[in-house]
Amino acid sequence: MSESHAPDGLPKRTTPTWEVELLISGVAVFAMLQLPGWLDGAIFAMMPRVDRGMGSALMTMHVYLKSAALILATTFSIHLLLRAQWIALVGTYSVFPDGVRWSALRLGPIRKEVEQRKEKSPPEAMDAADNRATLVFALGVAMASSLLGISLSIGLLFLLVTSALRLLGIDADASRVFGLSAMALMLPLLVAMTIDRYLAPRLRPQGWIWRASAAAIGFYRVLGVSRGSNVLGLIASHGGEKRIGALTMAIVVIGMAAALFSTIWRLDPSSLGGYARFPSGEGLQVVDPSHYDDQRDPGIDRAVAYIQSSVVIGPYLKLVVPYRPGDDDAALRLRCPAVAAEPAPDAVLACLTAAHAIRIDGKPLAGQAYEISEDPRTDRPALLAMIDVRALAPGRHVLTVERTSTLKTKKANEPYTIPFWR
């Protein structure tokens, strides 16, 4: 977009914010690359502390926030590359202001004709590179900001509704509350946009429907959903609304898919790779590292029962069973309704002890007793059982612990199976 060009300087209409763009991208790209991992750590630490419905709501929020972080990280990385190309062009043309010397290149006539026809003048080439970098920066920041604004708005409404329900003593499924909150937030905008697009010519100007639609559109404009001075609206009005809209939607979908699949992959690394022929399924002897304190990753692994190690050397086997609010609360209500209504500590512990019965090599543990404790590496409440294993013969043994689950699947209700060796 340059009108003139000095051989030893920048085009006159070089984007005035290029230095600030470089500064922001250079500083923020490292933070944005770290942010998805931090968000994963936060959601993995929170999930075992809430019930299944709240976990679904938090996971949805996590995908939105992580997709915004991934879009920003990708934007800043690509922007730095494009700015580097622009700097290289400016520097190269300052060294060789006369441009390409076609006579010095060994090209055939066809390629030479094509190259010369496509070749831009130095100012045009620098302007094109400058514009590409600025548009990538603006588009990425605008989309990430929109995702962040929508996520925070839905999250705030969800928090307010959940708090109100708790104060009223209403026990509602958190995932449904989250879905209804998102619908309640976005539905007025969709209705107002539909009225504006298809019914406005038939409405009485400044009638109540007109004013209500205008108020809704004005409210969402405050939240950043705007087509006026908004960056996305500015780009769409010059680059083609349908084309920019399709590009924006594609980037958002790709960002959310990347956020979702990267989270799934962190939870189950074996889901990525050629492991289809590796033996798996029922009836196989499986040693799960999450059941051993010296092998598990408390930041990622599920909240499952675990012992100190796969090889027990001392006289006692230390069994820790984390308390899982959703499943264990449901077990208390189902198994011990009187305890759930009036939760006396001793009665609750007795009910949980029965729910998490222990067996060694298929035999019930005599005198089973749990202590109240916590997982020292996650600071989450847990049951602790110190099991005397001095009488066990050397070799392989299997510890099984009954577990609770609100899911109806067979696998979810199977006991924890923890092999160990003496």
- Segment 64-100, tens digit of pLDDT: 889 888 988 888 888 899 988 888 888 888 888 888 8
Same domain, 246 and 364: no
Give residue 393's pLDDT band: very low, low, confident or very high (50, 70, 90): very high
Same domain, 33 and 177: yes
What are all long-range contacts of 337-344, with beta carbons under 8 Å and residues at least 24 apart? none
Indicate whether 4 pLDDT > 50. Answer: no
Same domain, 252 and 371: no
Half-sphere exposure of 104 (CA within 13 A, CB side): 3
- In three-state form (DSSP H/G/I as H, E/B as E, the rest C), the secondary structure along 240-277 is CHHHHHHHHHHHHHHHHHHHHHHHHHHHCHHHCCCCCC
Contact between 355 and 402 (Cβ < 8 Å): yes
What type of residue sits at position 376? Answer: P
The partner residues of 317 in beta bridges, in order of sequence, read: 387
**Which pLDDT value is given to residue 2?**
43
Same domain, 134 and 45: yes
Same domain, 224 and 293: no
Highest averaged pLDDT of the listed ranges 99-103, 277-281, 323-327, 357-361: 357-361
Indicate whether 395 pLDDT > 60. Answer: yes
pLDDT tens per residue, range 232-244: 777 877 777 788 7
Domain final residue, candidates 267, 299, 326: 267
Residue 320 counted as domain residue:
yes
* DSSP secondary structure string for all residues of 93-134: HHHSTT---GGGS---HHHHHHHHHHPPPHHHHHHHHHHHHH
Beta strands 371-375; 358-360: pairing state:
unpaired
Domain final residue, candidates 234, 267, 300: 267
Nearest Cα to Cα of residue 385 among 374, 373, 371, 366: 371
The partner residues of 107 in beta bridges, in order of sequence, read: none
Indicate whether 10 pLDDT > 70. Answer: no
Tokens of 309: 């190690």
Q: Which residue segment(s) compose the domain that 363 sits in?
A: 289-421
Same domain, 200 and 259: yes
Same domain, 54 and 136: yes
In three-state secondary structure terms, 363 is strand
Residue 2 counted as domain residue:
no
Tokens of 260: 């979702």
- Helix then strand count (H, E) for the chain reads 12, 7
The partner residues of 360 in beta bridges, in order of sequence, read: 363, 399
The partner residues of 417 in beta bridges, in order of sequence, read: 400
Sheet containing strand 396-401, edge to edge, reads: 363-364, 358-360, 396-401, 416-421
Give residue 289's pLDDT band: very low, low, confident or very high (50, 70, 90): very high
Q: What angle do CA 366, 368, 370 make, to 5 degrees?
A: 170
Residue 331 counted as domain residue:
yes
CA distance 232 to 245: 9
CA distance 213 to 233: 20
Domain final residue, candidates 215, 237, 267: 267
CA distance 121 to 127: 10
Same domain, 113 and 224: yes
* DSSP secondary structure string for all residues of 309-341: -SB--SSEEEEEEE--HHHHHHHHHHH-HHHHH
Q: What is the mean pLDDT of residues 288-296?
A: 93
Tokens 């189902």 appear where?
334
Indicate whether 408 pLDDT > 80. Answer: no
Same domain, 253 and 355: no
Residue 5 counted as domain residue:
no
CA distance 30 to 394: 52
Same domain, 220 and 318: no
Nearest Cα to Cα of residue 293 among 394, 408, 376, 390: 376
The larger pLDDT score, comparing residue 380 to residue 227, is at: 380
Tokens 């914010």 appear where?
17
Residue 278 counted as domain residue:
no
Half-sphere exposure of 289 (CA within 13 A, CB side): 8
Residue 144 phi/psi, 5-degree rounding, is: -65, -40
Same domain, 99 and 242: yes
Residue 273 counted as domain residue:
no
Residue 240 counted as domain residue:
yes
pLDDT tens per residue, range 111-167: 888 888 888 877 788 888 888 888 888 888 888 888 888 888 888 889 899 889 888
Give residue 7's pLDDT band: very low, low, confident or very high (50, 70, 90): very low
**Which pLDDT value is given to residue 3?**
47
Q: What angle do CA 93, 13, 244 make, to 5 degrees?
A: 100
Number of domain units in the chain: 2
Same domain, 101 and 230: yes
**Which pLDDT value is given to residue 224?**
66
Percent of the chain past pLDDT 90, that is, above it, reads 17
Indicate whether 12 pLDDT > 90. Answer: no
Contact between 370 and 352 (Cβ < 8 Å): yes
Displacement of CA 248 from its chain's centroid (Å): 19
CA distances, 242 to each of 147, 236, 294 (Å): 20, 8, 55
Tokens of 221: 């404009």
Contact between 38 and 65 (Cβ < 8 Å): no
Q: Could you tell me the CATH number of the domain that includes residue 349?
A: 2.60.40
Residue 11 counted as domain residue:
no
**Which pLDDT value is given to residue 341?**
66
The partner residues of 420 in beta bridges, in order of sequence, read: 397
